[in-house]
Amino acid sequence: MLRSRIVGTGSYLPPRTVSNREVSPGSRLDPDAVHRRTGIRVRCWASEGQATSHLAEEAARRACEAAGLSPASVDTIILSTTSPDAAFPSTACHLQRSLGAKGAAAFDVAASCSGFLYGLSMADCFIRSGRSRRCLLVAAEIKSRFLDLTDEATAILFGDGAGAALLVGEDGGDNPPRGILGVRLYADGAGHALIRVPAGGSRLPASRQTVQDRLHTIRMQGQPLFRVAVKRLAGAVTDLLKEFGVGVDDLGQAVFHQANGRILAAIGRKLGIPPEKTCSVIEQAGNTSSASLPIALDRALGEGRIRADDLVLLGTFGGGLTWAVALVRW
């Protein structure tokens, strides 16, 4: 049976680092208080000339290099972002052009912080069905352009970055089977107001008033979002592990969306996952939305936290509301 497998990962953070001191003047928090509240010490912000597709290209090329494959050999490009270069064309098409992947299908996915796993599910389906042989999955975000620096709830959290994974199809003759074992996707639109950018779409088009009222920036209800994120994601993980007949002790590593340090710690405690089995990049990267999971995954691989045949748990939660979990045998 054909199975999809990740054969290369890559990540990219812009060179500009932004300290807690730089983002805290608009809030009541001093730099140390920002760290205690979020787990973040610095985050990276894109330079003036960088667009989301530029970050995506850097991560994509690194993933292809790690896999030993040319970007031109990719036949499908899926790009997760909610901070695209423009409303259209898709940022994936900009990426396809810059990579020289002529003829490759290319499209964007907008599932907020869950976008990487939504894209992973699509890539897995494409490969299993024979629609794609080599699928490049990228998540790239420039959230710094959507921040109100006077809003304490969001200004201290978000950074910019990109992460990528290259998937290929392989015959599933391994025992135990390796590759993507399962991806489960969820959504609840009733919670859409917990985190959003209110203006800029057809529901509330851009106007002088929306700009004046700062409605093109991220708005978040932190405490309700925290509670529902931990509950929904922990529940989805529990269901997934039960479905595949494995426990926390069977996991080699768990990689979650890097929302903030407190959420990561709360999910770990609720599921009984020890800190040494969870990879965190929140302290040096901040919350990079859908890019955070592949950035953390690439870091875990680079640090030798994930080895061949390890069971790896992936989990995300974000706006929409959306959440997703996946189980991979490396």
Give residue-wise pLDDT tens across range 268-287. Answer: 999 999 999 999 999 999 99
Per the CB < 8 A criterion, the answer to whether 158 and 143 are in contact is yes
- Final residue belonging to a domain, choices 123, 145, 171: 171
The mean per-residue pLDDT over the stretch 191-220 comes to: 96
68-119 confidence digits (pLDDT tens): 999 999 999 999 999 999 999 999 999 999 999 999 999 999 999 999 999 9
- 330/120 Cα distance (integer angstroms): 15
Sign of CA dihedral 86, 285, 262, 30: negative
> Which residue type occupies 49?
G
Strand, coil or helix: 73: helix
Mean residue pLDDT of the chain comes to 95
The mean per-residue pLDDT over the stretch 209-226 comes to: 95
Give the domain range for residue 194: 179-329
Instruction: Please state whether 194 falls in left (phi above 0), alpha (psi between -120 and 50) or beta.
Output: alpha
Q: Clarify whether residues 58 and 137 are in a common domain.
A: yes
Q: How far does the chain reach from its first CA to its final CA, in angstroms?
A: 17
24-65 confidence digits (pLDDT tens): 776 678 899 999 999 999 999 999 999 999 999 999 999 999
Q: Clarify whether residues 158 and 189 are in a common domain.
A: no
> Which residue type occupies 256?
F
Res. 172: pLDDT tops 90 = no
Please state the domain count of the chain.
2
Q: Clarify whether residues 63 and 212 are in a common domain.
A: no
Q: Clarify whether residues 161 and 187 are in a common domain.
A: no
The mean per-residue pLDDT over the stretch 305-325 comes to: 97
Q: Clarify whether residues 150 and 271 are in a common domain.
A: no
Res. 175: pLDDT tops 80 = no
Q: Clarify whether residues 133 and 190 are in a common domain.
A: no
Q: Clarify whether residues 210 and 166 are in a common domain.
A: no
Q: What integer pLDDT is reported at residue 27 of this predicted model?
A: 66
Q: Which two tokens stand for residue 122?
A: 């699509």
The mean per-residue pLDDT over the stretch 176-192 comes to: 95
Q: Clarify whether residues 165 and 183 are in a common domain.
A: no
Q: Clarify whether residues 189 and 140 are in a common domain.
A: no
Q: Clarify whether residues 103 and 226 are in a common domain.
A: no
Active-site residue numbers? 113, 257, 287
Q: Which residues pair with 196 in a beta bridge?
A: 219
Q: What integer pLDDT is reported at residue 26 of this predicted model?
A: 65
Q: Which residues pair with 11 in a beta bridge?
A: 163
Q: What integer pLDDT is reported at residue 222 of this predicted model?
A: 87
- Final residue belonging to a domain, choices 171, 187, 206: 171
Per the CB < 8 A criterion, the answer to whether 9 and 165 are in contact is yes
Q: Clarify whether residues 12 and 155 are in a common domain.
A: yes
Res. 323: pLDDT tops 90 = yes
- 255/278 Cα distance (integer angstroms): 6
CATH of residue 259: 3.40.47.10
Q: What integer pLDDT is reported at residue 238 of this predicted model?
A: 98
Q: What integer pLDDT is reported at residue 13 of this predicted model?
A: 98
Res. 120: pLDDT tops 70 = yes
- 56/138 Cα distance (integer angstroms): 6
- Final residue belonging to a domain, choices 114, 144, 171: 171
CB atoms within 10 A of CB 176: 8
Q: Clarify whether residues 189 and 79 are in a common domain.
A: no
